[in-house]
Structure 1
């Protein structure tokens, strides 16, 4: 069963929000677009992995997607963590294309006359295995066997494993062969290592210690907050900013009217600026005509808050992002303003 479902990575959400809010001629525009493509590709690979894991009978494993656990002063994250009374299987997925050559010390990708070198993903997932052992020891979890797999999710990728690299031959596969690989591993683990009570304890521990990654994306990319374009963009033609009139938004370019177009701008603020907002900041963000108008918008949003009256600070809600329910497909194009 799925105990921790696959979620769109916060970093990808932040990258897309930044792309929407940067002018076309910004010096970092191209780097942000490259970042979006790279993160989106990884997410597509994780979705393919999610699909194949979803074919496993519910009672066989507790499945955790994107589990991120503490390791002393840092964290480690697995793409998929399969837990049963017999064993744990950690899976790392890669959505690489082109010709892939896997050696003990590295993975080499050749595509479009370009050669790129990465860490061997098998070394990566084996490191996660060791860190999970340390994690369990810290919380006094009984020993349970841990196996590892690397799954390449791009069906067109050509995979070449160095001769004699038997570990890679056993633990690396394409997504279409994943279930067979899992069955091969299961043949070596007939006896239960822990009981259902311990499984319940492990499950609660993993979910309790799971810490989704969130960075200061703008700082990481070297982008000043002042470069972020504010205003509400039209969900129909993407022009911005829309005009606020009598509790709704109207696009001065295509005359589209929306009651909730401002939610995207607020989501973007929470993602890339900060997880709080004040009345005056909301007024500036949405280009509202008055504090009274921003107070009205905040009342409708019903965000959790601290402080009172003019000192009120409104916080990003747990049920995030705020639902926009746009008529037009959501995309990451920038605001087409002026």
Structure 2
């Protein structure tokens, strides 16, 4: 059963919010666009992995789609974790394109697309590190030892060509196209037949995993040296992308295409949480939404059922959890980039 369902990660949501809000003359930053496309490709690869696992019989399995855990004061990310009473499996998804050649002597991958070559640290080392970190996590939080743990790297694009330059036999056992994952799961069930974890222990692991998961949220304004002057304020039309929409009674209307939206302020406030900080005051909301009325800002904030702390002038509204963010986002001027990944 799926115990934690994958949602669009903060990394991608933050980039989408930035492209909605960044003044147009700053949107052609090559590094910014490359990182957005890389994040989007990675997420799509993870979705491919999720689909493949969805058609596999999951009786007796707990599946966690995306975890970020902390051990020894360091965080580590697991794309997919599968917990059973007999073994634990960590799966890393890679959405490489073109031709990928593995060099076991240097533990490096060389990706070739046309005439361009890029080098990457071996993802096999990455998942090996995740195995060790997760074993340490189990020991620290649950005092569990010696649970059989396996790890795989799956390539989500079936057109990607994998080459093993030194013919390392471990390579194809650990790294393969996603279509091979389900047969590999069958192999693990044959390999591990002894029940090592009781239902009570599995419940304890499940509870701790969900409790300790801490999604990463980047600060893109700081990362790209952007200031408030680079950001567009106000309510954006999710039909044409224009600013601003104007308030008329209980609705917002676009001044460009005349599109009407009753909840356009919600996307704007979520953009604030993604770009600035996970809390907002009435004054900050008025400044960001470009509205003058304290009462109107109060009404808009209350309508989103956000968690609140403090009272009156000291009242602070808190961002919703990650799973409450919209999964389909309007991103202006990104169609070409999306088509190219």
In structure 1, the residue matched to 2:94 is 94
> Structure 2: how far apart are the matches of 1:37 and 1:258?
29
Secondary structure of the residue aligned to 2:283 is helix
Q: Which residue of 2 aligns with 1:143?
A: 146
Residue range with higher mean Cα deviation, 294-303 or 82-91: 294-303
**How far apart in 2 are the matches of 1:114 and 1:323?**
36
**How far 1:174 moved relative to its partner?**
0.4
Cα distance between partner residues in 2 of 1:306 and 1:217? 26
For structure 1, list consecutive stretches of 5 or more residues without a partner in the other structure: none
Listed as ranges, the matches of 1:125-164 within 5 Å are 125-138=127-140, 139-164=142-167
Distance apart, 1:221 and its partner CA: 2.4
Determine the structure 2 residue equivalent to 1:255. Answer: 258
| Residue 334 of structure 1: how far off its partner (Å) | 6.5
Q: Where does the alignment leave 5 or more consecutive residues of structure 2 unmatched?
A: 335-341
Tell me, in whole angstroms, the C-alpha distance in 1 between the residues paired with 2:324 and 2:333. 19
Tell me the residue number matched to 1:293. 296
Partner of 1:194: 197
Tell me, in whole angstroms, the C-alpha distance in 2 between the residues paired with 1:319 and 1:101. Answer: 36
- Note closer, same or farther for the CA distance 1:170–1:298 as it changes in structure 2 (3 Å cut): closer
- Alignment of 1:109 with 2:108, yes or no, is no
Q: Is the 8 A contact 2:60 2:85 kept in 1?
A: no
Question: Residues 192 and 292 (structure 1 numbering): CA distance in 2 closer, same or farther, change over 3 Å?
Answer: closer
Q: Comparing both structures, which one devotes a greater share of its residues to helix? A: 2
Asked if the contact 1:91/1:151 (under 8 Å) is kept, the reply is yes
Preserved contact between residue 88 and residue 144 of structure 1 (Cα < 8 Å):
yes
Aligned to 2:84: 84
Contact 1:18 1:32 (C-alpha < 8 Å) held by counterparts: no
Q: CA offsets, 1:107-154, max 9 Å, x none? A: 110013110000111110011001111112223114210011110001
Judging changes above 3 Å, is the alpha-carbon distance between structure 1 residues 330 and 133 closer, same or farther for their aligned structure 2 residues? closer
2:61, 2:84 within 8 Å by CA — same for their partners in 1? yes
Cα distance, 1:60–1:35 mapped onto 2, change above 3 Å = same
C-alpha separation in 2, matches of 1:241 and 1:36: 25
> Which residue is equivalent to 1:118?
120
Tell me, in whole angstroms, the C-alpha distance in 2 between the residues paired with 1:303 and 1:204: 25
Equivalent residue, structure 2, for 1:3: 3
Matches within 5 A, 1:60-75: 60-75=60-75
Report how far residue 191 of structure 1 moved. Answer: 1.8
Equivalent position of 1:219 in the other structure: 222
Q: Which segment drifts farther, 222-231 or 62-71?
A: 222-231
TM-score using structure 1 length? 0.92
2:272 matched residue in structure 1: 269
CA spacing shift, 1:3–1:302, aligned 2, 3 Å: closer
* Ranges of 4+ aligned residues in structure 1 off by more than 3 Å: 27-30, 318-324
304 and 207 in structure 1: CA distance in 2 versus 1, 3 angstrom threshold = closer
Aligned equivalent of 1:175, options 163, 173, 178: 178
Residues 19 and 27 in structure 2, CA contact (< 8 A), matched pair in contact too: no
Residues 23-53 of structure 1: CA deviation (Å, up to 9, x unaligned): 1211764432222111010000000000111
Shift in Å, 1:321: 4.0
